[in-house]
Amino acid sequence: MSRAETIDTLAIFTGKPAFPEKLYVGRPNIGNRDSFMERIGDILDRRWLTNEGRYAQEFESRLAELAGVRHCITMCNATIALEITIRALGLAGEVIVPSFTFIATPHSLQWQEITPVFCDIDPLTHNMDPRRVEELITPRTTGIIGVHVWGRPCAVEPLTEIARRRGLKLLFDAAHAFGCSHRGEAIGGFGDAEVFSFHATKFFNTFEGGAVATNNDELAAKIRLMKNFGFAGYDRVVYLGTNGKMTEVSAAMGLSSLESLDQFIAVNRRNYLLYREELSGLPGVGVISYDERERNNFQYLVLEIDEEVSRISRDLLMEILHGENVLARRYFYPGCHRMEPYASYFPHARLLLPATEQLAGRVLVLPTGTAVSDSDIATICRIIRTAVAHGAEISERLGAR
């Protein structure tokens, strides 16, 4: 019998993992090394390390082109980009956000004492349910932040319609959605602005980094001032600002990553199709789908485990994979509303978030990207098939341990 075809070969029993080295979710994709090193040499030669450098400017114009927007403003990371955009839009009071997102989405509001009001999701799309948004609007509400979770666009049109009708600002956290499209249009141009993340764990990285995309000239000018302390020229500060600038090293990485963008996406797509094929027909284990008519980056390989049907719990499956050095992750477990400070502020939030609660118990994200090979995927899937086929027996044995 080959490895992991019977439960006796599983590492939770043998202590011998299938992979000698850990396989991580979000292991960075590295672009063209030579072109990156060349740019680094140039940065050092010219001694221009940050502040509207050549590479930051070039990167911004390439990004704007790709996202099909008038302005793309690079930042040191997406969290600061969200904070600055929230402030530039004049958000205050309450803002409606999903809880099924990375903690930076509500934190970027709470950090400036704006209350995130958590909205439940549509279990089919994993994105904020626009039918639940209006009932959360109060006289204090100033805006909505939609999140394109997994790079799958959220309900852009319904949210745009609600925002327009109720006089609210609309921002999108597009941290997952660089290179994706909605109805054939690049993510970046929807709402008042959209924010990308280029963090090391995202499929396209600048070490740390982010950008704000917008078609609003006035907003863009304001954001540019705010990310540079409010400086409008030497010795002239016209605004309350902070420091959100991207360094030249990050911009150089971005330009080199851009040269490999299509390749990253092609690898992710290939991995996705391979995983889907290897895991097809497993009871209670679904691989989320992407709309093939749109551009997707396929950066997240997301399993949804229906414990009523599968013979194994999501958490036991994760434990088994961790034993094999496959560091599968529960995203966005347990939901932002169960993390601090929100759990203390809104101890009953879960009662209004049944779909979020359920999904946070079902999702398991697997490693993908250029660091994962076809044979890695075959092995990971073999482990999952064995675990699912013998779930009850494994639980029993572990219970008896």
Closest distance to ligand PLP from the beta carbon of 148 (Å): 8
List CB contacts of 272: < 8 A, sequence separation 6 or more. Answer: 287, 290, 298, 301, 368
**Which residue, 169 or 176, has its beta carbon nearer to ligand PLP?**
176
**Which residue, 105 or 260, has its beta carbon nearer to ligand PLP?**
105
**Which residue, 147 or 328, has its beta carbon nearer to ligand PLP?**
147
Q: Does 199 bind ligand PLP (CB under 6 A)?
A: yes
Closest distance to ligand PLP from the beta carbon of 78 (Å): 3
Residue of 29, 77, 181, 379 that binds ligand PLP (CB under 6 A): 77
CB–CB of 383/6 below 8 Å? no
**Which parts of 215-274 interact with ligand PLP (CB under 6 A)?**
none
Closest distance to ligand PLP from the beta carbon of 154 (Å): 11
Q: Does 173 bind ligand PLP (CB under 6 A)?
A: yes
Dihedral of alpha carbons 196, 197, 198, 202, sign? negative
Closest distance to ligand PLP from the beta carbon of 246 (Å): 11
Residues near ligand PLP (CB under 6 A), total: 14
Segment lying near ligand PLP (by CB under 6 A), choices 75-83, 293-301, 321-329, 360-368: 75-83
Q: Does 79 bind ligand PLP (CB under 6 A)?
A: yes
Q: Residues of 269-278 as b/e, b for ≥16 C-beta within 10 angstroms?
A: eebbebbeeb
Q: What is the DSSP string of 111-153?
A: TTT-EEEEE-B-TTTSSB-GGGTGGG--TTEEEEEEE-GGG--
Residue of 74, 197, 247, 256 that binds ligand PLP (CB under 6 A): 197
CA-CA distance, 129 to 151, in Å (whole number)? 16
Residue 112 CA: distances (Å) to CA of 20, 78, 184, 316, 364: 45, 16, 35, 39, 32
Q: Does 147 bind ligand PLP (CB under 6 A)?
A: yes
Closest distance to ligand PLP from the beta carbon of 68 (Å): 21
**Which residue, 107 or 132, has its beta carbon nearer to ligand PLP?**
107
Closest distance to ligand PLP from the beta carbon of 167 (Å): 26
Segment lying near ligand PLP (by CB under 6 A), choices 100-108, 184-192, 299-307, 375-383: 100-108
Q: Does 102 bind ligand PLP (CB under 6 A)?
A: yes
Q: Does 99 bind ligand PLP (CB under 6 A)?
A: no
CA-CA distance, 306 to 130, in Å (whole number)? 24
Comparing C-alpha atoms, which of 340, 270, 299 is closest to residue 107? 340
**Which residue, 200 or 343, has its beta carbon nearer to ligand PLP?**
200
Helix spans in 28-135 (H) = 33-46, 54-67, 78-88, 104-110
List CB contacts of 187: < 8 A, sequence separation 6 or more. Answer: 67, 148, 151, 153, 172, 174, 177, 178, 179, 180, 181, 194
CA-CA distance, 45 to 55, in Å (whole number)? 14
SS3 at position 37: helix
Residue of 85, 101, 181, 205 that binds ligand PLP (CB under 6 A): 101
Segment lying near ligand PLP (by CB under 6 A), choices 49-57, 96-104, 150-158, 353-361: 96-104
Question: Which H or E element spans position 354?
Answer: helix 354-360
CB–CB of 28/202 below 8 Å? no
**Which parts of 104-123 interact with ligand PLP (CB under 6 A)?**
104-105
Cα dihedral value 225, 228, 234, 240, nearest 10: 60
Q: Does 94 bind ligand PLP (CB under 6 A)?
A: no
CB–CB of 134/143 below 8 Å? no
Q: Does 333 bind ligand PLP (CB under 6 A)?
A: no
Q: Does 176 bind ligand PLP (CB under 6 A)?
A: yes
Residues that bind ligand PLP (CB under 6 A): 77-79, 101-102, 104-105, 147, 173, 175-176, 197, 199, 210
